[in-house]
């Protein structure tokens, strides 16, 4: 089945695919009234698109610009495929703003399926494995595509869905009964299932799962370590976005994402000047679809992610120390997240990064789960932390230690609210993305 991964055989082949793909992406965008207006005063030499300065003439597209379009105008002015050519619709997966439904053609889906299948190939999942899917199986595509892709790779699949489709206790019963070798879902839900299993008197680490594949939300180092301990498994991460596809995955835990640069064209630019940064330097991720663009011409899409991108030739060998990593992915660059541009609270003049806060919380062994709110109370910002204590942890003892640590690291005194086991993650069960950090100030 290897040929259906559509993998390029060399760096030169990747470059050739990008050259053709960028020209095709721009030609398709020029069919869109939205892009015709945006490019009306821009002179672009189609024969020079491989030159960074020429490509940079295309203005970067932001979520805010797209959201100014009324829904009808999005489909009539931005999209370029009519219903006859459309095979299915993908719900946008962002946690803010009104979601859109992106049309996908049959050709789009063939490339998208290859992107999802590569995730399993990177993790060494295939025939003989059983994959338990705990992603939502509604109108968001990730769950369906992950399940279909696992089947295409020869694995057996349990289409469990998220907790709103199969309640968490049922999921645990399925895992104990069928003992899958691979679990796929969001990291927050993985922590919830492990905590719930502990409350039921058993450990997921004893249920035969050797591989956990996460997606759809950031996976910090502390959260990865916690998951690996709770599940007794290797924890892999993957990255995708509905505007593009599943566009990258780790070939070894915490090795960085190999980005499918034959399917998408990634750029890392300075957030202020939009000029390219040097390889390996931190900057804003901008991507162009080279493959899933028959209906939605996403050119130079501002993802809002701050990343570092290392060229394939500088990324080092593909190995997890045990060998067996598929070297066919060596032609792709490696990307690491720095943080999301919107991923912080400003509380009493202090910037609190969500990733930094999450790392601190999950490094505390006495904390099973948490959720953070910022509220305005009598004209004063309050950082309220909802907490679940791990089994055997005294909340009173942990409260003093945690409050002091938050004050020391973030210079803000928190308000702690202790919750019953499993109550925090119930809100995550039906969400496309977990809202662990919520700003409730009006």
Model pLDDT, residue 93 = 59
Phi-psi sector, 177: left (phi>0), alpha (psi -120 to 50), beta = alpha
Of 378, 387, 394, 379, give the one whose Cα is nearest residue 415.
387
What pLDDT was estimated at residue 21? 98
**DSSP of 200-225:** TT--GGGTT--EEEE-SS---HHHHH
Q: Is it the case that residue 419 has pLDDT exceeding 80?
A: yes
Burial grade of 404 (CB within 10 A; 0-12, 13-18, 19 or more):
exposed
DSSP for 379-421, please give it.
TEEEEEEEEEEPTT--HHHHHHHHHHHHHHHHS---EEEE--T
Are both 1-340 and 344-439 of the same fold? no
Specify whether the CB–CB gap between 353 and 344 falls below 8 A: yes
What's the CATH number for 344-439?
A: 3.30.300.30
pLDDT of 155 above 90: yes
Q: What per-residue confidence (pLDDT) applies to 140?
A: 84
Contact (Cβ atoms closer than 8 angstroms) between residue 364 and residue 398: yes
Given this model, what pLDDT does residue 166 score? 87
What is the predicted pLDDT for the residue at 94?
52
User: Checking DSSP bridges between strand 182-185 and strand 130-133, what pairing results, if any?
Assistant: parallel
pLDDT mean over 142-169: 92
pLDDT for the residue numbered 318: 54
| Percentage of the chain exceeding pLDDT 90 | 65
Tokens 């995708």 map to which residue?
240
Structure tokens at 195: 């905590």
For residue 323, pLDDT over 80 is answered with no
* Digit-coded pLDDT (tens) for 76-98: 999 999 999 999 999 885 544 56
Stretch among 52-56, 67-71, 164-168 having the lowest mean pLDDT: 164-168
Both tokens of residue 220?
């910090």
Report the C-alpha gap between 82 and 75 in whole angstroms: 9
- Average pLDDT of span 117-137: 95
Please give the Cα distance from 330 to 261 (Å, whole number). 11
Helix (H) or strand (E) holding 308: strand 301-310
Give the model confidence (pLDDT) of 180-234 as tens digits: 999 999 888 898 899 889 889 999 999 999 999 999 887 888 889 999 999 999 9
Predicted TM-score (pTM) of the model is 0.86
For 297-315, what is the mean pLDDT? 92
Class of domain 1-340: alpha beta
Residues 312, 262: Cα–Cα separation, whole Å: 13
Distance (Å, rounded) from C-alpha 77 to C-alpha 69? 9
Query: Taking the domains of the chain in order of start, what are their residue ranges?
Result: 1-340, 344-439
Beta strands in 128-196 (DSSP E): 130-133, 156-159, 182-185
Q: Cβ(161)–Cβ(134) under 8 Å?
A: yes
Q: Given pLDDT bands bounded at 50, 70 and 90, which one contains residue 324? A: very low
Task: Give yes or no for residue 167 having a pLDDT over 50.
Answer: yes
């Amino acid at each position: 089945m290897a040929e259906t991964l559509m993998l390029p055989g060399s760096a030169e082949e990747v470059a050739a695919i990008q050259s053709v793909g960028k020209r095709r992406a721009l030609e398709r965008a020029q069919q869109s009234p939205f892009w015709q207006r945006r490019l009306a005063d821009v002179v672009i030499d189609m024969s020079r698109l491989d030159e960074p300065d020429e490509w940079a003439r295309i203005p970067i597209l932001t979520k805010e610009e797209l959201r100014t379009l009324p829904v009808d105008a999005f489909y009539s002015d931005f999209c370029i495929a009519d219903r006859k050519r459309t095979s299915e619709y993908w719900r946008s997966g962002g946690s803010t703003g009104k979601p859109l439904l992106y049309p996908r053609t049959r050709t789009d889906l063939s490339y998208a399926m290859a992107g999802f299948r590569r995730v399993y190939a990177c993790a060494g999942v295939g025939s003989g494995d059983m994959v338990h899917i705990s992603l939502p199986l509604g109108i968001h595509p990730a769950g369906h595509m992950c399940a279909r892709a696992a089947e295409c790779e020869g694995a057996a699949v349990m289409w469990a869905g998220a907790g709103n489709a199969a309640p968490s206790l049922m999921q645990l019963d399925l895992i104990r009964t069928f003992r899958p070798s691979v679990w796929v879902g969001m990291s927050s839900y993985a922590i919830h299932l492990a905590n719930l299993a502990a409350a039921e008197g058993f450990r997921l680490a004893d249920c035969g799962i050797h591989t956990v594949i996460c997606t759809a939300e950031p996976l910090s180092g502390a959260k990865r370590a916690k998951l690996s301990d709770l599940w007794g498994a290797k924890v892999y991460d993957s990255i995708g976005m509905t505007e593009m596809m599943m566009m990258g995955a780790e070939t070894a835990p915490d090795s960085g994402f190999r980005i499918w640069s034959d399917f998408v064209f990634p750029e890392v630019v300075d957030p202020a000047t939009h000029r390219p940064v040097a390889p390996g330097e931190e900057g804003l991720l901008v991507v162009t679809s080279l493959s899933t663009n028959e209906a939605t011409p996403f050119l130079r899409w501002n993802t809002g992610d701050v990343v570092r991108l290392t060229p394939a030739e500088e990324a080092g060998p593909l190995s997890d120390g045990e060998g067996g990593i598929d070297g066919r992915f060596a032609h792709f660059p490696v990307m690491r997240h720095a943080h999301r541009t919107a991923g912080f609270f400003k509380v009493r003049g202090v910037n609190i990064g969500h990733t930094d806060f999450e790392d601190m919380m999950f490094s505390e062994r006495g904390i099973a789960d948490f959720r953070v709110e910022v509220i305005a109370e009598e004209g004063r910002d309050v950082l309220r932390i909802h907490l679940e204590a791990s089994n055997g942890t005294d909340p009173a003892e942990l409260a003093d230690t945690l409050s002091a640590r938050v004050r020391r690291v973030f210079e803000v005194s928190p308000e702690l609210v202790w919750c019953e086991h499993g109550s925090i993650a119930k809100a995550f069960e039906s969400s496309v993305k977990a809202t662990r950090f919520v700003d409730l100030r009006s």
